[in-house]
Structure 1
Amino acid sequence: MRKTLIIAILFLLLLLFGSSAMVLAFVRIAPFHAEQALFPIQENLEHALLVFYFDPTSKASYELDLLEKRIQDMEQVEGQVEEIPRINSVLIELDHVINRFQFVSAESESNLREEFVKELNSIQDKMLLYTFLAETYPQEFNTLQAKIAGLKFLAMDVSNPLSALFTLSQGENSALEQANDPSDSSNQEPDFVDPRMVPFLPGSAGASHAFFPLTGKHAELTCQNCHSNMTYAGTPNQCAVCHSNVVPINHFDGMVCSTCHTTSAWKPASFDHAAVGATDCQSCHSGDKPNNHFSGQCSSCHNTNAWKPASFDHAVAGATDCQGCHSGNKPNNHFSGQCSSCHNTNAWKPANLDHAAAGLTDCQGCHNGNKPNNHFSGQCSSCHNTNAWRPASFNHAAAGLTDCQGCHSGNKPNNHFSGQCSSCHNTNAWKPANLDHAAAGLTDCQGCHSGNKPNNHFSGQCSSCHTTNAWKPASFSHANAGATDCQSCHSGDKPNNHFSGQCSSCHNTNSWGSASFSHSAAGATDCQGCHSGDKPNNHFSGQCSSCHNTDSWESANFSHSFPLNHGNANSVCAQCHPSGGTEWTCFNCHNENELTHKHQEEGISNFVVRCMECHSDGRKHDD
């Protein structure tokens, strides 16, 4: 019996030892993954072995070993749905580790801290490859990264005990426990770790707080002052959220404190009108202005530093209608136009009316009561300038006055030239006067000088002989006078029995002497008309031009078909032409009886009138 009991005990011990060995081997090998059905059994067995560890440090070290296993198990599922259950198992084990840290002693923290930071680095490295989780659930992925980074930040700070990490793992830690089963087609969205405040990484945008610089009094705040709901994202940064309870009554309604105040103190405050684009002064200061004040913008007169000194800038205000403000400021009978026509924007005096700027071209509109009796009725500007009435100088051209008679009809002496004054006088003085016949258009000399010429004077225009400077010297220009009929003036000047034709036939217009009769110019082709009494007795009765030229009677050359050197015929025409005319005879030189007898012997009859048939050249023919 005793032997049987011993065998049974040994068997039980052997069975227990074998079971323990199998459990240890099972835990050591860890064949199942988080997404598999038997993984919870494996996980429970792993934690059951904690009974073999007795002090908090060894228990925490064992949990760190399990965490390392879970981290290694994150491999080979990158980009797959299995990322979710595996990262979930890591987070669960991470909470177990942190839970053990609250019981460890300060002396053992150093090694545990170093190991914990190493595991956190491994988690961060593995998560960089988890593309499925990052792309499918980006917000949750970022939250997990923030948690790991926050834990790492606190763990590396040796001033914080590891037990402080326990506060970050409180709450329901169901993160990813309901991870999607790869075989589950429902694709249910997993539940993640509850949100809790995680410190920002050193040097990160959150840690530096550059998006909302913590200066002045803001630098004295803790994170919880603004992020009281344990979240960072979405925290309002408007001044009114915190400072609405300190705004005075009738305060500027912009509600952006930084417009006027700094983060150091409420005072001194300075409102930057330009920075906030405050261009409508009336929107704030409508109640600040005195009675009957300028209704425009404050900036037209004031600067943004103080109300005084004030200077109204008409140009900036676009104030071009002076009457709009100053209609009640002007004296009686004052100029009705704009103030700017005479005054500047600095003061009323000194005043100077700028006629050009005011567009004042009608002098009569203002000065019709200022002129003396019988004064020029035209514009003042014709004589005066805009500075003073004197000195005055009448500008006939500027006044457009071309009709002298309109003003000076009563100024001229008796029997004065009836034309325009400008024909003789200039606009400076009456004397010296010089009649400009051309300017006056005076071409009819008789209209003025008909009573000035001597008796029996040339009846034509004075300009034919005289110039407009003086009567003498005078020079008659027959060409200018168009005087081509010499007889009309000189019929009484010629001697008796003078040529009855035009003087110009022999004389020039300079003098009577050196006369030369131009027969061709006079058209004198009938010599007998003048020279019938000049020829000797028994002279050739034909035209003188048959023998003579117009230079002299001598060197006459008669154009004669019969040789004039025949015998002595050249001496006297009557030798051959005893009866005158063209009839001729040869018997004044030749014996008629001899010629008759000889010609009869040769059988030539009636030869008396036929001499020229055989002797036209005046020669004797032997045959």
Structure 2
Amino acid sequence: MKGLAKWVVILNLAALAVLAFVYPHLMVSPGKLADGHRELTRDCFACHAPMLGPSSSRCTGCHAVKDIGILTTKGAPITDKKTKVAFHQGLMKSACVECHTEHLGIGVRHVKPRFSHQLLDATTQRDCVGCHAKPGDDLHKSVNANCGACHGTGGWKPATFDHNKFFVFDDHHGRCTTCHRTADFKQYTCYFCHEHTPAKVRAEHLEEGIQDFEKCVDCHRSADEDEAKRAWRSLRSGTPYLFAPQPEFRREKKRRDDDD
């Protein structure tokens, strides 16, 4: 009896294996396909290699990499303006299933909600404008550096450029062009504020005995007048002044000074 039972088990397992191979969509499918793949419901091996799972080479058999975002799998032009021309040419070494999944049901998007830039090779990671449109404002028109100098891959905002390293804003600094008058933003002036006319700046500094006042940022890194005096005394003694970033304190002090 033991021998008979053993053969019954073996035959049943063999039958299940044959059924799974012949009718995988009935025996092992984890769920329904997305609407775009509905016609492949009975053809599991259109995407899956036997015993190995989904294969990227089978994906690109229908979705030609050079046509993704441009043509449908039937060769028709994609006219939906919301469809972005893709960057898949830079992902040839990555498996499709790292971003795309299936069997979640009809009407469900088969793209994971989060895309990781780590999937891209180093060259593609540096070529941000190969996928993203470059902003058209004056600041970005003048920037030739890599976007990663200010932006991370988690989102365009917030940018990591820290203006406080150069000058701490207060409530009066609203527009870049108030101080930066050239398109490349590399040059600046303090004379375009109504309080900072050349004559007034000259008179106030000469009154304090300061002859060299052309390079404002040597002493002024904020609206904190006391800090500027400390910086000037330090520079006069030949010791570089260490500016400590205290933006909230400086803004509050500027408000009090304005109210006096």
**Relative contact order higher in (CA < 8 Å, ≥ 6 apart):** 2
Higher helix share: 2
Quickly name the TM-score band, shorter chain normalised.
0.3 to 0.5
Normalising by the residue count of structure 1, what TM-score does the alignment of the two structures yield?
A: 0.21
